[in-house]
Amino acid sequence: MRVGVLTGGGDCPGLNAVIRAIVRKAERHYGDTVVGFLDGWRGVLEGEFIELDVERMRGTLPRGGTVLGTSRFSPRMYEDGMERVRSTMENTGTEALIVIGGEGTLSAGVGVGEAGAANVVGVPKTIDNDIGLTELTFGFDTAVEVATAAIDRLHTTAESHDRVMVVEVMGRHVGHIATWAGIAGGATLTLVPEEPFDINAVAETIVRRHERGRWASIVVVAEGAQPKEGTLELPEPEVDQYGHVRLGGIGQVVATEIEARTGFDTRVTVLGHIQRGGTPSALDRVLCSWYGIAAIDAVHDGDWGSMVAFQGGEMVRVRLADAVVELKPVSPALYDVARTFFA
């Protein structure tokens, strides 16, 4: 069989580990050939690909990024997008397409599958951990590790200077990274999109903490955190060429407001793409290897329109269309764990 693979959307630690696992089982177990489409859907739409084999993937397990490149291109950007996908599949003799991506890339995969343009199997990728029907997307664990290590470092400098440190982490619609890193790093407060915040209450909490003799505070803010209606104006976010809202900046707003309301010296650290680059954690390497193997097995079962998913410690398959219906929010019970340690 000739199997295609693409990596789309924002990159994420572990993409190469997934590709490597697909290639290994495809070549050595099933006797397949594997082609990698370049830059996500762009490579499929424009017929650009490379041949992948076990040799090509050697040494890539710990490497961040993706050997295939990635982009936010989508078949929906072209009037004849579905036709282009269909003809690339035909011209290259590709019988199945493993789509590794987040919500945007996977939703495009649903459209492609429903149009009958390619036989699609999905793999859930994103540091944000916001894909439905899977307990863990790969890349998330690494991002939490990076954010937690940063918070640990910020604690000591915050204590030396009696400062409030605001740490902005990724998480555009959901606050999984913020919540996990906030708990792991012992945050004073964690602000997530799921729970709109009141900046006055944030400031009061910090003042109360300082009155109890604690002079350093860490406030973790997910980039998509939202103030309660009517409490604080945020600047209009920019939109990129794919219509993707470019977030970032809430940390600075929160820091400025805390300092203005409390008078405490406040600094902001934006972790940004540091959370996405570099080597995957051991957990992510294992998860990625499992995801890749499960995806090529799904291909050989002809389970088109499925997504491999991690549930209850096992790799299962769900319908890709069901997984992208809505983003997975942080469990209120887990946020309550974080809240218990606030202030």
Residues that bind ligand F6P (CB under 6 A): 10, 102, 126-128, 170-172, 223, 244, 247, 276
Sign of the four-CA dihedral 322, 327, 331, 337: positive
Q: Does residue 215 come out as left (phi exceeding 0), alpha (psi in the -120 to 50 range) or beta?
A: alpha
Q: CB–CB of 174/192 below 8 Å?
A: yes
Task: State whether residue 191 is helix, strand or coil.
Answer: strand
| Residue number, 128 or 284, with CB nearest to ligand F6P | 128
What is the rounded end-to-end Cα distance, in angstroms, of the chain?
58
CB nearer to ligand F6P: give 64 or 102.
Answer: 102
For ligand F6P, the closer CB: 107 or 266: 107
Nearer to ligand F6P, 12 or 206 (CB): 12
Least separation in angstroms between CB 217 and ligand F6P: 24
In terms of Cβ atoms closer than 10 Å to its own Cβ (0-12, 13-18, 19+), residue 187 is buried
Q: Which residue is nearest to ligand F6P (CB)?
A: 170
Alpha-carbon distance 132 to 122, whole Å? 12
Q: Closest distance between ligand F6P and the C-beta of residue 140, in Å? A: 10
The reply to whether 128 belongs to the active site is yes
Three-state secondary-structure class, residue 116: coil
Q: Which of 11, 32, 39, 128 is catalytic?
A: 128
CB of 100 to ligand F6P, least distance (A): 14
Cβ proximity to ligand F6P, 109 vs 305, nearer residue: 109
Chain-centre distance for alpha carbon 48:
25
Nearest residue to 100 (alpha-carbon basis) of 70, 130, 74, 128: 70
310 near 136, Cβ under 8 Å?
yes
Active-site residues, by number, are: 128
